[in-house]
Chains A and B, each alone.
Chain A
Amino acid sequence: MQLTNRSKQVSNKEMTLAEKMYLPAIAQGLAITIKHFFQKKPTIQYPEVKRYLGPIFRGHHVLKRDEEGRERCTACGLCSLACPAEAISMVAAERKKGEENLYREEKYAAVYEINMLRCIFCGLCEEACPKQAVYLRHDRFVPVFTERDQVIYGKDRLVEQLDDRYVRTGSEVRATPTEPTLSRSAT
């Protein structure tokens, strides 16, 4: 199988004098390296410059609210069942009278926790969710944690803020992590 057309056959023929002197070959090699010395470097200076990772990047989890600002999650438990790392746990509760503007369904998640040390960001919870409640946002990373008590993310850090709505409509979405304003929208 030929992968590239750059392969050369190795030969054991006796070297000519020019090859034995090494110098022409050394000069060639030096020319190649000095060419690379002056080339533009492809490095992206990571913490300062962040590149767009694509519309299907799986980052920070978000528990969506619907158009009226009600939590979509109904605590069915399909996400924690789908989770291969068993990172998700929840406690369900029944919606009381007068809470209709808070929770869309009659049952809601009183506690919803994701253990970020366990999570492998596979996105299966997002696929399993029948209510389109849990998403992995494409524009935000889970920040680095240094203490064990920072690891478990509860509803306070997962539920979508009304002033920071997350939408991902199509594959043409573009929002780099450095510009979070692009992903904010009023839907």
Chain B
Amino acid sequence: MNLTELIIKSIIILVIFGVTLVIAMYSTWAERKVAGFMQDRLGPNRAGPFGLLQPLADAGKMFFKEDFIPSQANKWLFIIGPCLAILTALMSSAVIPFGDSIRYEGLTIPVQGVEINIGILYVFGVVSLGVYGIMVGGWASNNKFSLLGAIRAASQNISYEIAMGLAIIAILMMTGSLSLRSIVAGQESFLTWNVFTQPLGFIIFLTCAFAECNRTPFDLPECETELVGGYHTEYSSMKLGFYLFAEYINMFVSSAVISTLYFGGYHYPFMNTVHNALTGSLGEVTGHNLATLIGMLVLFAKIFFFIFFFMWVRWTLPRFRYDQLMNLGWKSLIPLSILNVVVTGFGLLYDIEYASWLIVIVMVVLAVMSSARAPKRVVQPQRS
């Protein structure tokens, strides 16, 4: 690795880091805007044009609040908790391929923090570490509500990681690689995007992503009605800010992972035509770099859509009850994802690419039949 490559690589890493932070920052603004619009309000619009300075104001407020450590809390663990949460959240964006590659002075450098051949395993490992941040924070607070929130977070993440992993195994079987870049490369044409070959896996993965990010409808760890504030009840100032920030970074990372795994990453329809046209008219190097840039923009559009989707769901659905959450995870998602793996295996064996649509079709037929057979509900007017 020579100096130019090193410099370009560090620039890429820094830019990814910065972009992650900025997107997480503006997610807080977007969340409030989206919430407002869905509730027929306008959301924050006082700080700067369209309220765009709101995140800065919020951060300023967070920094100037009293940084309080309860006297009975375990001081060091109390500090380590939010640090772990934000550290793990930031680490996971390192392996996501944000674009094809940059050509510069005969070098071809992939737009990615690190290209490792076990990318998705790395993401999984770091995401499961993320629960330590919550667990440590909740434990160190020395408060039963924090601890209950932390326990909920831990058990929920463990339960949903299984279904998530099984959903991904189907993809790994089809791609034959753990590297995120080769998973993206396997979805080159539009109809081979994994969302079309693995529709059930996508729905399972999406649900589990919601649970992993502790977002509504699975935000039981911070369930205000039951647990005061959940695991961050005792936190204030920027420590609380770190927890909230980590949640938004996680949201960005899971949107990126969903786009990469299921929506073709930086691929888009007629990509090769665009690439050839650009290289043809602007030259090999500039054209290629420009095509990479378009691919990156497409990926970010997908990511933003999923961030919006996360918010959309949050402001639509109420919270699950805890037994409903566990029932859904263990009794529905895990059996379904195992079935998905088996059917995908048969599909690979007999060379049918769209095999897992079988499960979807069977389920839709069953659902329609059962609702047709169910006794009609008579809507009775309320008696006075």
Contact = CB atoms under 8 A, between A and B. Distances in A.
Q: Are A and B part of the same complex?
A: yes
Interface of A: 1-2, 5, 7-9, 11, 13, 16-19, 21-24, 26, 29-30, 32-34, 36-37, 39, 41-43
A129 to B, nearest CB: 41
A18 B370 contact: yes
Contact of A16 (B315, B317, B371): B371
A2 B313 contact: no
A11 B375 CA distance: 12
Interface stretch (B36-44, B109-117, B136-144, B347-355): B36-44
A50 to B, nearest CB: 17
Interface string B40-56: 11100000000000000
Given A21-B367, A29-B317, A30-B312, A37 B37 contact: yes
Given A17-B366, A37-B37, 18 more contacts: A2-B381, A2-B384, A7-B382, A9-B379, A9-B382, A17-B367, A17-B370, A18-B371, A21-B363, A23-B203, A29-B316, A32-B316, A36-B39, A36-B40, A37-B34, A39-B40, A41-B37, A43-B42
A43 B366 CA distance: 46
B374 interface: yes
A41 B39 CA distance: 9
Contacts of B317: 26, 29
B384 A1 contact: yes
A30 B315 CA distance: 9
Contacts of A9: 379-380, 382
Interface string B13-40: 0000000000000000000001001111
B40 A2 contact: no
Given A33-B38, A42-B40, A5 B381 contact: yes
Contact of B38 (A5, A11, A13, A37): A37
Contacts of B34: 37
B316 A33 contact: yes
A32 B37 CA distance: 12
A43 B380 contact: no
B382 A41 contact: no
B368 interface: yes
Interface in B92-116: none
Interface string B299-335: 0000000000000110111000000000010000000
A33 B315 contact: yes
A184 B269 CA distance: 66
Nearest to A4: B382
Interface residues of B, number: 28
Given A17-B370, A36-B40, A2 B382 contact: yes
Contacts of A24: 367
Contacts of A17: 363, 366-367, 370-371
A13 B363 contact: no
A18 B384 contact: no
Contacts of A23: 203
A164 B97 CA distance: 69
10 contacts: A8-B379, A13-B375, A13-B377, A18-B367, A21-B363, A36-B40, A37-B312, A41-B37, A41-B42, A42-B40
Contacts of B379: 8-9
Nearest to A35: B38
A32 B317 CA distance: 11
- Which 7 pairs from chain A and chain B are nearest by CB? A18-B367, A17-B370, A16-B371, A33-B316, A16-B374, A16-B370, A29-B316
B312 A19 contact: no
A11 B380 CA distance: 11
Instruction: Pick the most buried of A26, A32, A33: most chain B CB atoms within 10 A of its CB.
Output: A33
A26 B41 CA distance: 22
A16 B317 CA distance: 20
A174 B272 CA distance: 65
Interface in B340-376: 363, 366-368, 370-371, 374-375
A47 to B, nearest CB: 10
B312 A16 contact: no
A43 B328 CA distance: 40
B175 to A, nearest CB: 26
Nearest to A5: B381
A86 B206 CA distance: 64
A43 B34 CA distance: 15
Contacts of A19: 371
Contacts of A2: 381-382, 384
A16 B40 contact: no
Given A17-B371, A37-B38, A11 B377 contact: yes
Contacts of B366: 17
A34 B382 contact: no
